[in-house]
């Protein structure tokens, strides 16, 4: 079964801040001694420009690490602190296809995106991407805002931050044999390996949580 995980990781020491700002129906789950997970019905926003206002408000009292893993499609995080988003990462397993469609829409704004698949434009678009090095540009942009230094807000050691800096880079991404393993490596280094198959609907249904607002 493809994994779908989404929620907000916070230091267990900041549970008071979570309870203070918790919206009705939200859930607090203890992940381990260090981490708690704050879950709400609107947790699937990794790809959205809109961030729930209650998360911005919460981040004024304590840093928030939003984490999402959408199985075979993408994974990533957003970090909020003092009312601002300070880090963003979205690793897409469909980057090449996304780039092709984006390039097609930019070059042929009057066409429907599905017209690309008719075959008339495919060779031209792929050639344009290759000649202009657009895939390399997209790969670099994918890591441009990851800001691994912000993980220090969650009491991570210098060693952890250094390891995150090493793996969360376009150069490492080009070299790894299995891009699907990167999310597990990230979770292991960050100490959030238990953050798997956790999302609001599933936890609410199972009843495996400590408190509900």
- Contact 52/38 with Cβ under 8 angstroms? no
**Total domains, the chain:** 1
* pLDDT score for 208: 66
When pLDDT is averaged across residues 97-104 and rounded to a whole number, the result is: 90
Tens-place pLDDT, residues 161-179? 999 999 999 999 999 989 9
Q: Strand pairing partners for 7?
A: 67
pLDDT band at 212 (very low <50, low <70, confident <90, very high): low
Q: Strand pairing partners for 35?
A: 11
* pLDDT score for 93: 92
Q: How far is CA 170 from CA 46, 78, 137, 141, 208, in A?
A: 20, 18, 10, 9, 38
pLDDT above 70 covers a percentage of the chain that reads: 96
When pLDDT is averaged across residues 179-200 and rounded to a whole number, the result is: 95
User: If you write DSSP's letter for every residue of 46-60 in order, what string do you get?
Assistant: TT-S---HHHHHHHT
pLDDT band at 213 (very low <50, low <70, confident <90, very high): low
Average of per-residue pLDDT values in the chain: 92
The domain in which residue 24 lies consists of 4-212
């Amino acid at each position: 079964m493809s994994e779908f995980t989404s929620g907000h990781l916070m230091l267990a020491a900041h549970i008071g801040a979570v309870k203070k700002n918790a919206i009705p129906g939200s859930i607090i789950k203890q992940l381990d001694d260090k981490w708690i997970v704050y879950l709400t019905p609107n947790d699937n926003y990794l790809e959205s420009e809109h961030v729930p206002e209650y998360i911005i408000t919460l981040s004024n009292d304590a840093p928030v690490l939003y984490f999402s893993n959408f199985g075979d499609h993408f994974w990533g995080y957003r970090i909020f602190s003092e009312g601002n988003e300070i880090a963003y990462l979205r690793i897409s397993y469909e980057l090449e296809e996304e780039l092709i469609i984006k390039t097609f829409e930019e070059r042929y704004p009057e066409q429907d995106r599905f017209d690309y698949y008719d075959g008339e434009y495919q060779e031209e678009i792929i050639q344009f991407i290759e000649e202009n090095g657009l895939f390399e540009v997209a790969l670099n942009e994918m890591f441009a805002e990851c800001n691994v230094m912000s993980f220090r807000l969650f009491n991570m050691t210098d060693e952890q931050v250094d390891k995150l800096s090493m793996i969360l880079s376009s150069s490492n991404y080009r070299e790894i044999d299995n891009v699907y393993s990167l999310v597990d490596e990230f979770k292991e280094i960050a100490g959030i390996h238990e953050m798997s198959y956790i999302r609001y609907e599933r936890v609410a249904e199972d009843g495996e949580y400590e408190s509900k607002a």
